Amino acid sequence: MANQQLIDFIKQQMGAGERKETVKSTLRASGWGDAEVDEAMAVVGGTDTSIAAVSESVTRDIFKPRMAASAKSAGTPSTFSLHRSSRRWVLPASLGAIILVLVLGGGWLYKTSADLSGQVARLSGENAAFTSQIVLLSKENNSLRIEADSLRATSSDLEDQLSILIVPSGTSMSQELPVNVKGTLAGSGSAGYTLTTSRGIVLTIKNYRDAKVATALLPLVGTTIGITGTHLPGSKSVTVASVNGIAIQ
């Protein structure tokens, strides 16, 4: 015959919403035999389990016969105690897990932020160094450009001066050749004018008696001027056509 205490306990637990297998496991862990538990379960299975209240002593006394049998069974808590204990640990465990995630996430974010800040600082430094190099190269480039322009001007001026002294092959000695040269102007209207180049070549102004030429040259005596005109091959006497880019008319 099924144990009435077991029947009442099973009804109480299942009426509280516990699963049948959970109740069976609890009873077996408490020391009740499979046959006793199954017999009581069979009785409960044929009755209404959403039943009326059972006395509190059922829960309190159901483990007494088995607890006395062994020291191991003596430490087994009731189903209610197990569930109260498990519920008691759910919230702290969840909060602990959340806090752990937040701490780990915060650490990761801090490390990531520090790494990004380091990369930004490194890139900023590299950009500043690169900008400085660009500025330096730009200055050097401008300096080289100015130097190159100066060399080209010097080369052109030298060619112009040499063209006065060198007679091109096949040129007729009576054929007027163009001249474009710079130099320091000296002289006066009555004695004539000379132009001394940077290479020390002294040219005379052939048409200095022309009133328009004299008017153009006289105010420029003692200064460096540029003249264009013509001369005979090998001759240092120049017929002036313009002064400082202004045609004499």
> What is the mean pLDDT for each group of 10 consecutive residues in the chain (249 residues)?
85 88 87 87 66 49 50 48 53 76 83 87 88 88 84 71 73 85 90 92 93 94 95 90 94
Residue indicated by tokens 């408490």: 30
pLDDT of residue 79: 53
3-state secondary structure of 172: coil
Per-residue model confidence (pLDDT) at position 87: 53
Pairing of strands 246-247, 237-243: antiparallel
**Residues counted in the chain:** 249
CATH H superfamily, domain 177-247: NigD-like N-terminal OB domain (2.40.50.500)
Instruction: Identify the pLDDT of residue 185.
Output: 97
**Cα dihedral 143/148/151/156 (nearest 10):** -140
pLDDT digits (tens, 9 = 90+) for 14-40: 888 888 899 888 888 888 888 888 888
Rg of the chain (C-alpha set): 59
Q: For position 86, what pLDDT does the model report? A: 53
DSSP E strands in the chain: the ranges are 177-188, 192-196, 202-205, 224-231, 237-243, 246-247
pLDDT, position 52:
45
pLDDT of residue 90: 58
pLDDT at 89: 57
CB atoms closer than 10 angstroms to residue 55: 10
DSSP 188: E
Distance CA 11, CA 50 (A): 8
Query: Which pairing describes strands 202-205 and 177-188: parallel, antiparallel, or unpaired?
Result: unpaired
Phi-psi region of 244 (alpha: psi -120 to 50; beta: other; left: phi over 0): left
